[in-house]
Amino acid sequence: MTLLLLTCSIYVLLLFQSHIISACPSVCSCHGPNVDCSNRGLQTIPSGIPRNVFKLELQFNNLSIIRKDDFKAFRQLRILNLQDNQIHTIDTDAFRDLISLEKFSNQLRAIKKGTLQGLQAIDNLQLDHNEITCIEAEAINGLNRLEIVRLHDNQFVCDCRLLWLAKYLKLHPFLGLNARCQDADTFSYKDITSLIDDEKQCNSMDIDDIDYTCNVPVCPYPCTCFNGVVDCKDKDLIEIPRNIPDTTIELRLEKNRIIEIPPKIFFHLKKLRRLDISNNLISTIYPDSFAGLKSLNSLYVFIYIYLFGFDILFFL
């Protein structure tokens, strides 16, 4: 009798474990160890993803933050696709043991020391089409298996903080192809590896004058920034700058030629109180154009609508 009860208990336990492993969230589709949760409008990682997942597709959602424990239970996860979300923050050690981080086009502004921690096995790192202005040197320590690195279409600023990256890309010529930065004086773009020519100038500077971290806010061209105010007024802009500092309190975009306010374009501006985007040519505003503006108390917008041959102006 005891043996029978023990056998039944083991059988029930195995069934329970099997259910846990093979369960699939209702918003996803699961095919063996591959889980597809793409294009579902997700704002958080869904619960109930099988623990034995090997490839997880979360592209084309509305994720904004990757927490340290979001993937912690997935010991076999190796391939992760987070393309086209609104991710701007990644907790330290969130990506441990991945071998491929595919098409990570989001809203990342900086790659800091702990952003890529735990990725010692990764060979495919795609960080193109973000808003990255700098990468800290210690961010890629231990990533010795890299075969593919994509850094193009970002907002890198050409300064001494990127000198280490210029040397790294020169030493690994097949990584980071077409990675470019913007010169702070001429506003022209050039290959990051060309910063090696400035090594003597960087070495001659007082070490205290250079902040090698990514904590230095970058002012979007051709705006001016001072004491939390970003002034882009009357700069002939046709679109809203992408690299507006997180610390911005007031944003002036009036008297330009901006025609639309993209979805979640201000999502990272948690401290923004005043936004003036009047006197533009805005004809398109999305339901989530102003999402994330928790501190906003003043908004100025003109909307132009062409209707039956007449220009109609709305003021918000």
Q: Where in the chain are the domains? A: 27-209, 224-315
| 47 alpha carbon, distance to own chain's centre | 22
Give the integer Cα–Cα distance in Å for 9 and 70. Answer: 32
**How do residues 205-248 score in pLDDT, each as one tens digit?**
544 445 566 765 678 878 888 878 999 999 999 999 877 888 89
CB 240, CB 222: distance < 8 Å: no
Q: What is the DSSP letter of 17?
A: H
The residue among 313, 229, 311, 238 whose CA lies nearest residue 276 is: 229
Fold identical between 27-209 and 224-315? yes
Lowest mean pLDDT segment, chosen from 40-54, 178-192, 286-300: 178-192
Name the nearest CA neighbour of 254 among 311, 296, 300, 291. 300
- In angstroms, the CA 79 to CA 114 distance is 20
Q: Could you tell me the fold of the domain covering 224-315?
A: 3.80.10
Alpha-carbon span 113 to 187, nearest angstrom = 28
Q: Which residues of 44-62 are buried (b: 16+ CB within 10 A; e: fewer)?
A: ebbeebbeebebbbbbbbb
| Sheet of strand 29-31, all strands in order from the earlier edge strand to the far edge | 29-31, 34-36, 55-57, 79-81, 100-102, 124-126, 148-150
**Beta strands 284-285; 260-261: pairing state:** parallel
Average pLDDT over residues 56-80: 91
Topology, domain 27-209? 3.80.10
- Cα Rg for the chain, rounded, in angstroms? 24
pLDDT per residue as tens digits for the range 70-126: 998 998 998 999 999 989 888 888 887 788 787 788 888 889 888 888 888 889 899
Q: How far apart are CA 144 and CA 129, in angstroms?
A: 23
pTM for the whole structure:
0.66
Rounded distance, CA 272 to CA 228, Å? 9
